[in-house]
Each structure stands twice: as C-alpha cells, then as structure tokens.
Amino acid sequence: MNCIGIIMDGNRRWAKEKNLPQFAGHEAGYQKLLEVLGWAREAGARNLIVYAFSTENWNRPDEEVSYLMKLIEMVIEERVQKIAEEKVRVRFIGELDKFPERVRKSMRVLEEKTAIFKEYTLGIAVSYGGKAEIISAVKRLPQNIMQNLTEEEFSKYLWTGDFPDPELIIRTGGQKRLSNFLLWRAAYSELYFTDTYWPALSKEEFLSAIKFFAGTQRNFGK
C-alpha cells in the first residue's frame, strides 16, 4: 500500500467520557498519532496523510484554538530529533499562512530537517479543507496549460501535489463522511469507518482496516 489517509476524530468525546478536560483528548490524540505512524510503516505504507486541523476548526472557542496552536508548536519542537532518527519526511498541508509566525517557523524547520528522507512521508493536514485545496490549485494554474489540462497535471498544483492518492482512508469517531478531507485525492479511495474514538484506536483495529482494504477489489470504475 502506497498511501493511507486518516481522519482523526473523537478526541474531545473521548476526553468527555473519561471526565477529562477536552485538552487531554487532543494530547492523547497526538500520542496515538505517534503509534499509528509506526503501525502504518509496519503495514508497508510509504505515505500517511492525517487530518489534524480543518479550515472550519478555526471557528472553535478561542481557548481551544489557542491550546491547539501551542500543542502543534510543542509537538513540532519536541519531535524534531526523534522524527529525524526515524527517517520520516514531514510535510504540512493547508493554509499555513493562517498560523502565527512562530508556528510557521517551527513547521519550516521540521520540513527542512526531514526533507532528505524519501522512503516514508507523514503529511499533516492543518488549516486544511479539500475545497480550499482545489480552489488554491485553480488559482495557481498557468494560463498557458488550461487548454490541454489533464487530471495528472492539475494534481501537481494541489497542496498534496507530491503525495499519491490514498488507497485507503480511515475515519475514527463514528461519523461516516469525508468532512472536506482530500476531496480530489479520495475519488477512488476505499473508506473504513469505526465508532472507536481516535485516542482509543488499537493496533488490532488498525490492522482490521488494512485487512478490509486487502479484501476489496479495486477496478476504478472499469
């Protein structure tokens, strides 16, 4: 499998059921991402794209958004050396100019430090929306290619332009929709939904998603 996409849903509900502050859910979600990155590599996936913060998430309460900014910055700064040791390239995907400059700087540092790694790539979708990605790509298209534009050429102008289409998209948390995630890329992705909240996802259930994918027949409409 070349690429897996994950919608990491259920952090806040997981925390609420455990009578914990919702911030604890986000922290547990970050810890789970580190585990799943390892599971994906063991399963043979060379690319993992995770939905960490949507364009709509900016509308959450100011206190929560502020916490998420601090968490993202802390995660980046704390994980730089560890990720480098694991030889994983990191890419941030989305409207990055909406983040505070200190956060953008941390993102750039992490991307630059891991750019040399080619075997495994972790894409972190932050301030990301599938519709916004498509509109951004349209605005960046050179006028001289419009006449003979192909799907392959258009894909190069997406924020995910250097990623392959995900063969499998996993969504935790019980909802059964894409929620504006990888709308262009997900045209022929297999979709796996689970009621399990993201922080509670087990390796066994992750492998069940991989087994589900292995049992599908992908004919791409043919």
Write out the binding residues for substrate: 10-14, 26, 54-56, 58, 60, 171, 177-179
- Binding site, by residue number, is 9-14, 26, 54-56, 58, 60, 171, 177-179, 190
- Binding site for Mg(2+), by residue number, is 9, 190
What is the distance between the alpha carbons of residues 206 and 8, in angstroms, rounded to a whole number? 12
Residue 59 bears catalytic tag:
no
**Residues of 209-222 as b/e, b for ≥16 C-beta within 10 angstroms?**
bbeebeeeeeeeee
For 180, half-sphere exposure in the C-beta direction (CA atoms, 13 angstrom radius) is: 18
Residue 9 bears catalytic tag:
yes
Please identify which of the residues 2, 47, 57, 195 carries the catalytic annotation.
57
Using alpha carbons, select from 179, 176, 169, 167 the residue that is nearest to residue 130. Answer: 179
For Cα atoms 36, 212, 129, give the angle at the middle one, nearest 5 degrees: 55
What CA–CA distances, in Å, run from 218 to 102, 167, 213? 43, 9, 9
Catalytic annotation, residues: 9, 57
